[in-house]
Amino acid sequence: MSLLFCFSAFLQAQTDGTLTFTFTHSKPSSYSEDFLAVWVEHNNGTFVKAKMRYVEQEPDHLPLFAVRAGGTAGNCFDSKIDVSDATTGATLSSSTTPAAWGTYTVVWDGKDLAGTTVIDGDYKMFVESAWKEGPSNTSDHTANFTFSKSSTASSFAPADGTYIKSVSINWAPASLGLDDNTLDNNNILIYPNPSNGIFNINFKNVTVNKIEAVDFLGRVVYSENVNTTKINSPKIMNLSHNAKGLYILKFYSDKGSWSHKIVIGN
Protein backbone atom coordinates (compact mmCIF):
# COMPACT_ATOMS: atom_id res chain seq x y z
CA MET A 1 0.00 0.00 0.00
CA SER A 2 2.80 2.44 0.91
CA LEU A 3 4.59 1.69 -2.35
CA LEU A 4 1.40 2.39 -4.29
CA PHE A 5 0.95 5.70 -2.46
CA CYS A 6 4.53 6.79 -3.22
CA PHE A 7 4.16 5.81 -6.86
CA SER A 8 0.90 7.76 -7.19
CA ALA A 9 2.45 10.80 -5.52
CA PHE A 10 5.36 10.64 -7.95
CA LEU A 11 3.00 10.52 -10.91
CA GLN A 12 1.17 13.60 -9.64
CA ALA A 13 4.26 15.69 -8.84
CA GLN A 14 3.77 19.35 -9.72
CA THR A 15 7.17 21.02 -9.92
CA ASP A 16 7.19 24.81 -10.16
CA GLY A 17 9.62 26.19 -12.71
CA THR A 18 10.12 28.01 -15.98
CA LEU A 19 10.37 26.77 -19.56
CA THR A 20 12.22 28.99 -22.06
CA PHE A 21 11.59 28.18 -25.72
CA THR A 22 13.58 30.02 -28.40
CA PHE A 23 13.43 29.51 -32.15
CA THR A 24 14.27 31.26 -35.41
CA HIS A 25 11.79 31.33 -38.28
CA SER A 26 13.64 31.44 -41.61
CA LYS A 27 12.01 33.33 -44.45
CA PRO A 28 10.38 31.17 -47.13
CA SER A 29 10.99 32.54 -50.63
CA SER A 30 9.86 36.14 -51.07
CA TYR A 31 6.84 36.26 -48.80
CA SER A 32 6.58 39.42 -46.73
CA GLU A 33 4.10 38.54 -43.95
CA ASP A 34 3.82 35.77 -41.40
CA PHE A 35 0.93 34.52 -39.27
CA LEU A 36 2.37 32.87 -36.17
CA ALA A 37 1.07 30.98 -33.14
CA VAL A 38 2.86 29.17 -30.30
CA TRP A 39 1.20 27.09 -27.59
CA VAL A 40 1.80 24.39 -24.95
CA GLU A 41 0.15 20.97 -24.89
CA HIS A 42 0.46 17.93 -22.67
CA ASN A 43 1.90 14.95 -24.52
CA ASN A 44 -1.56 13.34 -24.44
CA GLY A 45 -2.93 16.16 -26.59
CA THR A 46 -4.52 18.25 -23.83
CA PHE A 47 -4.23 21.97 -24.57
CA VAL A 48 -2.51 23.87 -21.73
CA LYS A 49 -1.92 27.49 -22.71
CA ALA A 50 -1.52 29.82 -25.70
CA LYS A 51 1.75 31.76 -25.62
CA MET A 52 1.77 33.65 -28.93
CA ARG A 53 -0.74 34.66 -31.63
CA TYR A 54 0.12 37.11 -34.38
CA VAL A 55 -2.66 37.44 -36.94
CA GLU A 56 -4.79 40.38 -38.00
CA GLN A 57 -7.54 40.02 -40.64
CA GLU A 58 -7.28 36.37 -41.67
CA PRO A 59 -8.81 34.26 -38.86
CA ASP A 60 -8.64 31.08 -40.97
CA HIS A 61 -4.85 31.18 -41.34
CA LEU A 62 -4.00 29.36 -38.09
CA PRO A 63 -6.48 26.44 -38.14
CA LEU A 64 -4.52 23.94 -36.05
CA PHE A 65 -4.00 26.46 -33.27
CA ALA A 66 -7.67 27.45 -33.43
CA VAL A 67 -8.90 23.88 -33.02
CA ARG A 68 -6.39 22.85 -30.34
CA ALA A 69 -7.15 26.01 -28.33
CA GLY A 70 -10.86 25.22 -28.27
CA GLY A 71 -12.17 27.16 -31.25
CA THR A 72 -13.00 26.25 -34.83
CA ALA A 73 -10.61 25.78 -37.76
CA GLY A 74 -11.89 28.82 -39.59
CA ASN A 75 -11.59 31.27 -36.71
CA CYS A 76 -8.49 31.67 -34.55
CA PHE A 77 -10.26 34.70 -32.99
CA ASP A 78 -12.98 32.46 -31.57
CA SER A 79 -14.20 33.76 -28.20
CA LYS A 80 -13.54 30.32 -26.70
CA ILE A 81 -9.79 30.79 -27.21
CA ASP A 82 -8.06 32.24 -24.16
CA VAL A 83 -4.96 34.26 -25.08
CA SER A 84 -4.76 36.15 -21.78
CA ASP A 85 -1.23 34.85 -21.14
CA ALA A 86 -0.05 35.11 -24.75
CA THR A 87 1.72 37.85 -26.68
CA THR A 88 -0.63 38.93 -29.44
CA GLY A 89 -0.61 41.40 -32.27
CA ALA A 90 -1.04 42.04 -35.96
CA THR A 91 0.30 39.80 -38.69
CA LEU A 92 4.10 39.97 -38.58
CA SER A 93 5.93 41.94 -41.24
CA SER A 94 9.20 43.80 -41.68
CA SER A 95 7.68 46.85 -39.96
CA THR A 96 6.10 45.16 -36.92
CA THR A 97 7.63 44.54 -33.51
CA PRO A 98 8.66 41.81 -33.40
CA ALA A 99 9.35 41.59 -37.11
CA ALA A 100 8.59 38.63 -39.34
CA TRP A 101 11.25 35.99 -39.98
CA GLY A 102 13.19 36.57 -36.79
CA THR A 103 14.13 34.93 -33.51
CA TYR A 104 11.42 34.57 -30.88
CA THR A 105 11.47 33.58 -27.21
CA VAL A 106 8.50 32.20 -25.29
CA VAL A 107 8.54 31.71 -21.52
CA TRP A 108 6.07 29.31 -19.85
CA ASP A 109 5.60 29.28 -16.09
CA GLY A 110 4.56 25.62 -15.90
CA LYS A 111 0.93 26.57 -15.15
CA ASP A 112 -2.39 26.23 -16.91
CA LEU A 113 -4.85 29.02 -17.65
CA ALA A 114 -6.32 28.71 -14.15
CA GLY A 115 -2.90 29.48 -12.67
CA THR A 116 -2.41 25.94 -11.37
CA THR A 117 0.99 24.25 -11.73
CA VAL A 118 0.44 21.31 -14.06
CA ILE A 119 1.60 17.78 -13.23
CA ASP A 120 5.09 16.75 -14.24
CA GLY A 121 5.56 14.76 -17.42
CA ASP A 122 6.15 15.22 -21.14
CA TYR A 123 4.81 18.32 -22.85
CA LYS A 124 5.05 19.84 -26.33
CA MET A 125 5.69 23.34 -27.63
CA PHE A 126 3.78 23.82 -30.88
CA VAL A 127 4.55 26.38 -33.58
CA GLU A 128 2.15 27.09 -36.45
CA SER A 129 3.06 29.52 -39.20
CA ALA A 130 1.35 30.61 -42.40
CA TRP A 131 2.51 33.10 -44.98
CA LYS A 132 0.55 32.47 -48.18
CA GLU A 133 -2.62 34.38 -49.00
CA GLY A 134 -5.81 32.60 -50.01
CA PRO A 135 -8.13 30.06 -48.37
CA SER A 136 -6.38 27.07 -49.99
CA ASN A 137 -3.08 27.94 -48.31
CA THR A 138 -4.14 28.70 -44.77
CA SER A 139 -1.89 26.26 -42.94
CA ASP A 140 1.60 26.21 -44.34
CA HIS A 141 3.81 24.83 -41.61
CA THR A 142 3.57 23.31 -38.13
CA ALA A 143 6.23 21.92 -35.83
CA ASN A 144 6.24 20.58 -32.29
CA PHE A 145 8.97 19.81 -29.78
CA THR A 146 8.65 17.47 -26.80
CA PHE A 147 10.26 18.27 -23.45
CA SER A 148 10.07 16.88 -19.94
CA LYS A 149 8.76 18.96 -17.03
CA SER A 150 10.23 17.58 -13.80
CA SER A 151 12.28 18.43 -10.74
CA THR A 152 15.45 18.13 -12.84
CA ALA A 153 16.78 20.93 -15.05
CA SER A 154 17.04 20.01 -18.72
CA SER A 155 18.14 21.59 -21.97
CA PHE A 156 18.25 20.45 -25.55
CA ALA A 157 18.49 21.82 -29.07
CA PRO A 158 16.48 19.87 -31.68
CA ALA A 159 17.75 19.58 -35.22
CA ASP A 160 16.81 22.36 -37.63
CA GLY A 161 13.60 21.92 -39.58
CA THR A 162 12.70 23.37 -42.95
CA TYR A 163 11.63 26.74 -41.56
CA ILE A 164 11.95 26.50 -37.76
CA LYS A 165 15.63 26.54 -36.84
CA SER A 166 18.04 27.20 -33.96
CA VAL A 167 15.57 25.82 -31.44
CA SER A 168 16.54 25.72 -27.76
CA ILE A 169 14.35 24.39 -24.96
CA ASN A 170 15.38 24.97 -21.35
CA TRP A 171 13.39 23.76 -18.34
CA ALA A 172 14.49 25.23 -14.99
CA PRO A 173 12.77 23.96 -11.82
CA ALA A 174 12.16 26.53 -9.11
CA SER A 175 14.72 24.81 -6.92
CA LEU A 176 17.38 26.84 -8.75
CA GLY A 177 16.63 29.62 -6.28
CA LEU A 178 13.58 31.37 -7.73
CA ASP A 179 11.93 31.49 -4.31
CA ASP A 180 14.84 33.09 -2.47
CA ASN A 181 13.29 36.50 -1.84
CA THR A 182 14.53 37.71 1.53
CA LEU A 183 15.06 41.21 0.13
CA ASP A 184 12.14 43.34 -0.98
CA ASN A 185 12.02 43.00 -4.76
CA ASN A 186 10.36 46.40 -5.08
CA ASN A 187 13.70 47.94 -4.16
CA ILE A 188 15.45 46.67 -7.29
CA LEU A 189 14.24 47.40 -10.81
CA ILE A 190 15.59 45.41 -13.79
CA TYR A 191 14.79 46.47 -17.36
CA PRO A 192 14.25 45.66 -20.14
CA ASN A 193 13.30 42.06 -19.46
CA PRO A 194 13.47 40.11 -21.75
CA SER A 195 16.38 41.85 -23.46
CA ASN A 196 19.20 41.18 -25.89
CA GLY A 197 21.49 40.63 -22.92
CA ILE A 198 21.96 44.25 -21.82
CA PHE A 199 20.11 44.91 -18.56
CA ASN A 200 19.72 48.12 -16.56
CA ILE A 201 19.51 47.74 -12.79
CA ASN A 202 18.14 50.44 -10.50
CA PHE A 203 18.78 50.08 -6.76
CA LYS A 204 16.27 51.88 -4.52
CA ASN A 205 16.79 52.02 -0.76
CA VAL A 206 18.73 48.77 -0.67
CA THR A 207 22.44 48.05 -0.29
CA VAL A 208 23.84 45.20 -2.38
CA ASN A 209 27.44 44.03 -2.29
CA LYS A 210 27.40 41.22 -4.85
CA ILE A 211 25.54 40.26 -8.04
CA GLU A 212 25.50 36.84 -9.70
CA ALA A 213 23.78 35.48 -12.81
CA VAL A 214 23.08 31.74 -12.87
CA ASP A 215 21.98 29.70 -15.89
CA PHE A 216 19.28 27.01 -15.92
CA LEU A 217 21.81 24.35 -14.91
CA GLY A 218 22.91 26.31 -11.87
CA ARG A 219 26.21 27.49 -13.33
CA VAL A 220 27.40 31.00 -12.41
CA VAL A 221 27.93 32.89 -15.68
CA TYR A 222 28.42 36.36 -14.16
CA SER A 223 29.70 37.52 -10.78
CA GLU A 224 30.60 41.00 -9.60
CA ASN A 225 31.27 42.63 -6.25
CA VAL A 226 29.54 46.00 -6.07
CA ASN A 227 28.92 48.88 -3.68
CA THR A 228 25.44 50.17 -4.48
CA THR A 229 25.79 53.08 -2.07
CA LYS A 230 28.10 54.62 -4.67
CA ILE A 231 25.86 53.92 -7.69
CA ASN A 232 23.82 57.01 -8.58
CA SER A 233 22.51 55.94 -11.99
CA PRO A 234 21.26 52.62 -13.41
CA LYS A 235 23.94 49.95 -13.45
CA ILE A 236 24.41 48.36 -16.85
CA MET A 237 25.03 44.61 -16.85
CA ASN A 238 26.16 42.96 -20.08
CA LEU A 239 25.19 39.30 -20.54
CA SER A 240 24.93 39.47 -24.34
CA HIS A 241 27.73 36.92 -24.80
CA ASN A 242 25.55 34.26 -23.15
CA ALA A 243 23.09 31.99 -24.93
CA LYS A 244 19.41 32.96 -25.17
CA GLY A 245 17.24 31.61 -22.40
CA LEU A 246 16.32 31.92 -18.74
CA TYR A 247 18.78 33.09 -16.08
CA ILE A 248 18.50 33.77 -12.37
CA LEU A 249 19.91 37.09 -11.20
CA LYS A 250 20.96 36.93 -7.54
CA PHE A 251 21.64 39.90 -5.29
CA TYR A 252 23.46 39.56 -1.97
CA SER A 253 23.61 41.93 0.99
CA ASP A 254 24.57 41.71 4.65
CA LYS A 255 20.87 41.21 5.44
CA GLY A 256 20.11 38.40 3.00
CA SER A 257 19.66 37.68 -0.69
CA TRP A 258 17.11 38.10 -3.45
CA SER A 259 16.60 36.42 -6.82
CA HIS A 260 14.88 37.47 -10.02
CA LYS A 261 14.22 35.69 -13.32
CA ILE A 262 15.60 37.38 -16.43
CA VAL A 263 15.41 36.27 -20.05
CA ILE A 264 17.88 36.84 -22.87
CA GLY A 265 15.82 36.54 -25.98
CA ASN A 266 15.49 39.67 -28.12
pLDDT in tens, 228-254: 888 777 889 999 998 888 888 888 888
pLDDT digits (tens, 9 = 90+) for 58-111: 888 899 999 999 999 889 999 999 999 999 999 999 899 889 999 898 889 899
Instruction: Record the pTM.
Output: 0.69
Residues 169 and 213 in one domain: no
Strands (E), 109-255: 121-130, 141-149, 154-156, 164-173, 188-191, 198-203, 210-215, 220-225, 235-238, 245-253
Residues 171 and 236 in one domain: no
The domain total for the chain is 2
Whether 76 and 19 have beta carbons less than 8 Å apart is answered as no
User: Does residue 8 have a pLDDT over 70?
Assistant: no
Lowest mean pLDDT among 82-91, 111-120, 222-231: 222-231
Last-in-domain residue among 175, 197, 213 = 175
- At 15 the three-state DSSP class reads coil
Residues 67 and 160 in one domain: yes
Distance CA 116, CA 123 (A): 16
The pLDDT assigned to 3 comes to 47
Distance CA 261, CA 246 (A): 7
Residues 46 and 132 in one domain: yes
The pLDDT assigned to 246 comes to 82
Distance CA 156, CA 168 (A): 6
Last-in-domain residue among 113, 146, 175 = 175
